[in-house]
Amino acid sequence: MKLKFSLAFILITAFSLAGCGFHLRGTAQLPPALQTLALASTDGNSDILRELRRSLVASGINVIDSPQGNTYALAIGAEDSSERVLSVNSNARAGEYELTMSVPFQLRSGGTTVIGPETLVIEKVYLADPNSAVAKAEERELMEEEMRRELVSLILRRLQSASL
């Protein structure tokens, strides 16, 4: 009896999640027209391009290097990041930093621009600790990786909402 109840609970939960449109984070349900997508960048070896390519492939998208026929082309510009001091502590040293990362992109089909050109921007704040500079440098690197993943997620959401 207990096994039947557990099985029924699992099935009801699975059908409920499937019915509400739930899908695992990190995968994108792009329109059918974008199932084959040409991916280009001004910097062919950028971190954001690698992250975007990985996310597209994980979502089942066929990523090609150059557009063929009527395929859509996603152009990613150069990633720009900057850092500025937000506050100063009592020792006249930087207390907080703001990281800003941006990336331009556009979606084209043939000679027509479908989306963009747009620039997406992410900002994050982190605390500075002069006693542990190495730890803060590592924290900054992790924060930059997280910001790249967020930018990729924003690009994918923008592609999902495109009316093609």
Q: Domain spans of the chain?
A: 28-160
Taking Cα atoms as reference points, which of 153, 162, 161 lies closest to residue 59?
153
Between 53 and 9, residue with greater pLDDT: 53
Element (H, E) at 77: none
In sequence order, which residues have a C-beta less than 8 Å from that of residue 65 and are 6 or more positions away? 38, 39, 40
The 10s digit of each residue's pLDDT in 107-153 is: 988 888 888 799 999 999 887 776 676 667 788 888 899 999 999 99
Task: Evaluate if residue 158 carries a pLDDT over 60.
Answer: yes
Q: Binning pLDDT at 50, 70 and 90, where does residue 10 land?
A: confident
Q: Cα separation of 87 and 95, whole Å? A: 5
Q: Which residue has the tokens 């502590």?
A: 89
Task: Evaluate if residue 96 carries a pLDDT over 70.
Answer: yes
Q: Write down the CATH superfamily of domain 28-160.
A: Lipoprotein like domain (3.30.160.150)
**pLDDT (0 to 100) of residue 140:** 82
Q: Binning pLDDT at 50, 70 and 90, where does residue 67 land?
A: confident
Element (H, E) at 138: helix 133-160
Taking Cα atoms as reference points, which of 123, 110, 109, 122 lies closest to residue 162?
109
Task: Evaluate if residue 4 carries a pLDDT over 90.
Answer: no
